[in-house]
Amino acid sequence: MTLIARATRTEALRLLQDFVPQAGRAYAASRNFDRPGAGHANVSRLSPYLRHRLITEAEVLQAVLGRHAVAAAEKFVQEVYWRTYWKGWLELRPGVWGAYRSDLNTALARLRSDPDLAETLRRAEAGETGIEAFDAWATELTRSGYLSNHARMWTASIWIFTLRLPWELGADWFMRHLLDGDPASNTLSWRWVAGLQTRGKPYVARAGNIAWYTDGRHDPAGLLNEAPEPLSGPAPPAPRAAPEGDMPAPGLRTGMLLTEDDLSPRFVLARLDAPPVAHATLCSVDRRSPRAVSEKVTGFATAAIADARGRWADRLGEAGPEADRPEAIRDWAVAQGLEQIVTPYAPVGPAASALRELGRLLEAECIALVRVLRDEDRAAWPFATHGFFRFKERIPELLTAEVGSVDRS
């Protein structure tokens, strides 16, 4: 059973090096198979590192396309851009994240008055449903912090349509246990399975499909709802304008802030007229859920931050606090006499919420919070206005720009 234990850039580079030879047609042929017994060696296993940007999408794409033609690596390239697309889609519609969190709280409140729902949830999360395939994936998720993409889709579909549990509770379960738990990819993928994202078109887990893509390891014939009705809900809001990010002001006493969302800060440093005088970190992993987040998830995120901090210590100035609350960063900034804090832009999610709180605290102290957006995100997110297939038409031009400028930090 896979457990990605080392939250370091060195480990990310090792995985990338191992994966590059098979990132072309071999990946396209095998990517949908769920093979935990082989350590999921048919996929890259880079998602936890990309989630925290210990390694960047541009680096991964350049490495793959240095070995394979674009046509041969098309499926893998698209998988990388799915992450960008989901982030952009949610960034243009941040209210969808807010609605999910509100509906999650409502679902959690139901548990206190509905013992049958609470028991069904308990059995699902414990892998005690009697659906052997689902139970195996539930166990793998909680023990390893990882599931293959196809297993995530099957699990979500069974959760919603066979077990008839609220999708928000399932999305929260994943966020509490996945090492690569990403607000955009996770929330919108669950909405897609439910038939809310592509309205009226749910993803249906079918026993025959599961049997084939698990090499016969699982076959839940007769146990699944294979003719479900999609969930209903309000249409998503119209997209807002894509963010541009901020630019640091020259000549100010500057501090650097790292969050778990982007741990490759070279692009921020390149926009400064002088090095930061000090740095700190803000980890918002406990904000991923109203419930307790897995120790594996917390450990991976904090280790990833520590790894980045260690690698960049000589470029970021005096070491400040390892904080988990915005107030600690405010107090540090005041004590340091900072005039601005620069940080990589955090997309919609827990880190972004923490940064908004921090921004209000700093404003009261006349300190600017400067959220610097990566060029590749600024270029891609405005195209996430509709479905992925329209976004996909833009990949060739985005790819040309992105692989030419790679952060190797």
DSSP string, 243-289: P----PPTTS-EEEEEETT---THHHHTT-SS--SEEEEE--GGGG-
- Does residue 138 lie in a domain region? yes
Whether residue 38 is found in the same domain as residue 136? no
Q: Which of 213, 230, 264 is the last residue of a domain?
A: 213
What pTM was estimated for this model as a whole?
A: 0.95
Whether residue 327 is found in the same domain as residue 384? no
SS3 221: coil
- Name the residue among 29, 33, 58, 37 with its Cα closest to residue 46: 58
For 148, left (φ over 0), alpha (ψ -120 to 50), or beta? beta
Whether residue 261 is found in the same domain as residue 366? yes
DSSP string, 101-134: HHHHHHHHHHHHH-HHHHHHHHHHHHT-SS-HHH
Per-residue model confidence as pLDDT tens for the chain (409 residues): 444 569 999 999 999 999 999 999 999 999 999 999 999 999 999 999 999 999 999 999 999 999 999 999 999 999 999 999 999 999 999 999 999 999 999 999 999 999 999 999 999 999 999 999 999 999 999 999 999 999 999 999 999 999 999 999 999 999 999 999 999 999 999 999 999 999 999 999 999 999 999 999 999 999 999 999 999 999 889 999 999 999 999 999 999 999 999 999 999 999 999 999 999 999 999 999 999 999 999 999 999 999 999 999 999 999 999 999 999 999 999 999 999 999 999 999 999 999 999 999 999 999 999 999 999 999 999 999 999 999 999 999 999 887 765 454 5
Structurally, the chain folds into a number of domains equal to 3
Q: What is the pLDDT at residue 404?
A: 67
Whether residue 116 is found in the same domain as residue 88? no
- Does residue 322 lie in a domain region? yes
Gap between the Cα atoms of 370 and 341, Å rounded: 6
Whether residue 69 is found in the same domain as residue 137? no
Whether residue 327 is found in the same domain as residue 392? no
Whether residue 147 is found in the same domain as residue 198? yes
Q: Can you read off the two tokens belonging to residue 58?
A: 């541009």
The parent domain of residue 118 ranges over 99-213
- Does residue 4 lie in a domain region? no
